[in-house]
């Protein structure tokens, strides 16, 4: 019985140590989540302004064309997949990878029909284990990523579309709803949907020409949308981690309560047994 009591006590101590770790990780993720949300929100005005300028060029120029605005027969598709580098994030990685595989299995008959641009070690390792065509990957991003971290990947994906290596480009990420909810999302990035004309178009003048400006802006716009998806993904990752660590902390507290009750019952049984043995011994001597 004494051995059993010591074992329960060791289990309680071990779970208490684990609870301290998960609680600390929950608090760190919560603090980082606020910063990630602020960063994602601060990028939106830039994206909106780029969109406004692109729309104004479309309104100012009749019959303007650009490869990124042209829909062509789809022979090969690119997928930009945003995952985490590590685990302990609940279903964050599993959900987006399952979503991507569902889309791939539905749309493609062979591996030659698509290429993967992967952010995050979990996604890279997942696709490599299945020998799927990873064109480029980026890993070991910080919790506060900069555009420079994924610039080469974004450029390669956009350039691949311009050079007709790919006929469609999709960006796949977990859209941040709140700390409890992240929505696996697969959005078509390229070609751009038809651009709407802007009522403010007459306020802008372009040098050397609207076409030349559009030639520079559209790739930047596409790369900015990719970075925006990364910021959404990072906020979702931190929200998932905070939620997962919060659940782990609650489960640890529940286990400690149950083990403590078991420990107290075992001690009580041991004390009762000792008293019974003492009384029995005293009765035997009398």
Same domain for 147 and 267, yes or no, is no
Same domain for 128 and 257, yes or no, is no
Same domain for 125 and 110, yes or no, is yes
- Domain of residue 261, CATH code: 1.10.287.80
Same domain for 105 and 18, yes or no, is no
**Contacts of 92-96 spanning 24+ positions with Cβ under 8 A:** 92/174, 92/182, 92/236, 92/237, 92/240, 92/241, 93/120, 93/122, 93/123, 93/126, 95/174, 95/182, 95/184, 96/123, 96/172, 96/173, 96/174, 96/184
Region 168-174: what's the mean pLDDT?
95
Same domain for 160 and 192, yes or no, is yes
- Domain of residue 126, CATH code: 3.40.1380.10
Give the range of the structural domain holding residue 81, as residue numbers without chain letter. Answer: 38-243
Same domain for 77 and 177, yes or no, is yes
Same domain for 185 and 160, yes or no, is yes
Instruction: Say if 286 falls within a structural domain.
Output: no
Q: What is the pLDDT of residues 70-99, one digit of tens each?
A: 888 999 999 999 999 988 898 999 999 999
Instruction: Say if 285 falls within a structural domain.
Output: no
Q: What is the pLDDT of residues 230-253, one digit of tens each?
A: 999 999 999 999 999 999 999 999
Q: How many domains does the chain have?
A: 2
Q: Of the candidates 101, 110, 161, 106, which has an alpha carbon nearest to the alpha carbon of residue 118?
A: 101
> What is the rounded distance in angstroms from the CA atom of residue 90 to the CA atom of residue 49?
35
Same domain for 165 and 260, yes or no, is no
């Amino acid at each position: 019985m004494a051995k059993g009591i010591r074992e329960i006590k060791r289990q309680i101590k071990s779970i208490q140590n684990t609870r301290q770790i998960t609680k600390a990780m929950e608090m760190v993720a919560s603090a980082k989540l606020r910063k990630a949300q602020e960063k994602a929100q601060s990028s939106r005005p830039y994206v909106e302004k780029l969109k406004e300028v692109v729309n104004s060029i479309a309104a100012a120029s009749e019959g303007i064309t650009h490869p990124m605005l042209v829909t062509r027969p789809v022979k090969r598709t690119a997928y930009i997949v945003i995952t985490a580098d590590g685990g302990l994030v609940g279903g964050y990685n599993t959900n987006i990878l399952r979503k991507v595989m569902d889309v791939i299995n539905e749309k493609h008959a062979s591996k030659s029909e698509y290429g993967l641009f992967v952010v995050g070690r979990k996604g890279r390792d997942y696709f490599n284990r299945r020998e799927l065509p990873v064109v480029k990957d980026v890993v070991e991003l910080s919790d506060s990523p900069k555009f420079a971290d994924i610039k080469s990947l974004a450029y390669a994906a956009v350039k691949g579309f311009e050079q007709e290596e790919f006929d469609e480009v999709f960006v796949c990420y977990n859209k941040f709803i709140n700390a409890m909810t992240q929505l696996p999302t697969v959005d078509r990035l390229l070609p751009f949907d038809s651009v709407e004309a802007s009522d403010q178009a007459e306020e802008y003048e372009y040098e050397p020409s609207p076409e030349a400006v559009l030639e520079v802006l559209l790739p930047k716009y596409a790369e900015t949308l990719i970075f925006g998806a990364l910021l959404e993904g990072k906020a979702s990752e931190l929200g998932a981690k905070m939620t997962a660590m919060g659940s782990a902390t609650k489960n640890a507290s529940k286990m400690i309560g149950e083990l403590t009750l078991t420990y107290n019952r075992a001690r009580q049984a041991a004390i009762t047994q000792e008293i019974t043995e003492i009384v029995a011994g005293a009765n035997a001597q009398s």
